[in-house]
Chain A
Amino acid sequence: MIIPVRCFTCGKVVGDKWEEFNSRVREGEDAGRVLDDLGLTRYCCRRMLLSHVEIIDELMKFYETGKRKPVRPP
């Protein structure tokens, strides 16, 4: 759905690296090289970014076209 905060296996923070990874790979850089640059050396952390699909971006469209989601009473 949205990039996990940490690696499921070792617990290293990977969330803050997603945006840079995504934009650089989209610009055509080699994913392995970007992961090296980001300091993700273990394969558990590397798969977190490599296999991630940011589905929340698709979901957001429903909120943007529809009306506002009712606010929860305080």
Chain B
Amino acid sequence: MKIKILHKNDVSLRLLIKGTNSAFMNTLRRIVLSEVPSMAIDDIVIIENSSPIRDEFLAHRIGLIPLTTDLDTYNLPEDCTCKSEFGCNLCSVSLALEVEAEDHRITVYSGDFKSENPSIVPVNLKIPITKLAPEQRIRLEAYARLGKGKGHARWQPVSVCAYKYVPTISVNQEVCNSCGDCVKICPKNILIKTGNIIEVRNINDCTLCRDCVKACQKDPKAIAVTWDESSFILNIESTGGLAPERILYAALNLLNDKLNEFLSKSREGN
């Protein structure tokens, strides 16, 4: 297996992976989506809410705010030694929100939360939660916990985790009359016409839609889009709570644990 980083920043990662198969890639994708834990608000105690937004609506919005996640310090509530429904300081973080509008309309933002642990805070500080008219008030306490994407989408550490085959495009210069129809239709501007030749650039951006093949009037087609079934482009976009490479490592560790468990259980059963 060969891996090359195509693009990487704080929240997204794009890898070119060669020499594997779609079963492995899909395993990885599904573990990232549904098993890698991340922090989100799970329980909320509303003391006062006179805002135009109802309590349930408010709780739902607050739950969806991504929080910075610390996988090394915190335990999943089901694995925590406290075994308590209310949690302890190893499995739960409390965040308080107390805002009052005085004489003019204000917006309550995710950044108004005061966290008991300064390393567990909302990733984006400017998410509007609600608006308050003069004299309206919100007072609430929220409890954040680790959870998994399979429990609720708010615990999914990524907004995108997807892969595709690596495309290959070939133009048969003997058949092609360089009419340019394929160039015009390509949504990703992969094909360019230089003189009488159709050239391919940024091929990794090709979505494999094959519109270029459909657009070609020639019979047989002068252009062919194929893919290599053992090479993939994996795209991970984090919600910001965890770095994308950390998400990938966590997913691989989880896969490893699952396989080890399978191995030891199957030996026991023997």
Contacts and interface: CB of A to CB of B under 8 A. Distances in A.
B58 to A, nearest CB: 10
A53 interface: no
A56 B239 contact: no
Given A2-B128, A11-B158, A15-B124, 19 more contacts: A2-B53, A2-B61, A2-B130, A2-B131, A5-B64, A6-B64, A11-B156, A13-B124, A16-B128, A56-B52, A60-B133, A63-B133, A63-B136, A64-B133, A64-B134, A68-B50, A69-B136, A70-B50, A71-B137
B160 interface: yes
Interface in A1-27: 1-3, 5-7, 10-13, 15-16, 18-19
Interface in B49-92: 49-50, 52-53, 61, 64-66
30 contacts: A1-B53, A2-B61, A2-B128, A2-B130, A2-B131, A5-B61, A5-B64, A5-B65, A10-B160, A11-B158, A11-B239, A12-B237, A13-B123, A13-B159, A15-B124, A15-B126, A15-B128, A19-B128, A56-B131, A59-B52, A60-B105, A63-B52, A63-B136, A64-B133, A68-B136, A69-B136, A71-B137, A72-B48, A72-B50, A74-B48
A7 B159 contact: yes
Interface residues of B, number: 33
Interface in B78-111: 105, 110
A4 to B, nearest CB: 8
A11 B159 contact: yes
B240 interface: yes
Contacts of A42: 160
B208 interface: no
A16 B124 contact: yes
Interface of B: 47-50, 52-53, 61, 64-66, 105, 110, 123-128, 130-131, 133-137, 153, 156, 158-160, 237, 239-240
Pick the most buried of B61, B128, B130, B160: most chain A CB atoms within 10 A of its CB. B128
A6 B135 CA distance: 29
A69 B133 CA distance: 10
A13 B126 CA distance: 11
Given A2-B53, A12-B159, A74 B47 contact: yes
Contacts of B105: 60, 64
A9 to B, nearest CB: 9
A71 B128 CA distance: 22
A46 to B, nearest CB: 14
Contacts of A7: 159
Nearest to A13: B124
A56 B125 CA distance: 20
Nearest to B105: A60
Contacts of B126: 15-16, 19
A63 B130 CA distance: 14
Contacts of B125: 16
A54 B65 CA distance: 19
B128 A18 contact: yes
B239 A13 contact: yes
Contacts of A16: 110, 124-128
Contacts of A57: 131
Contacts of B66: 13
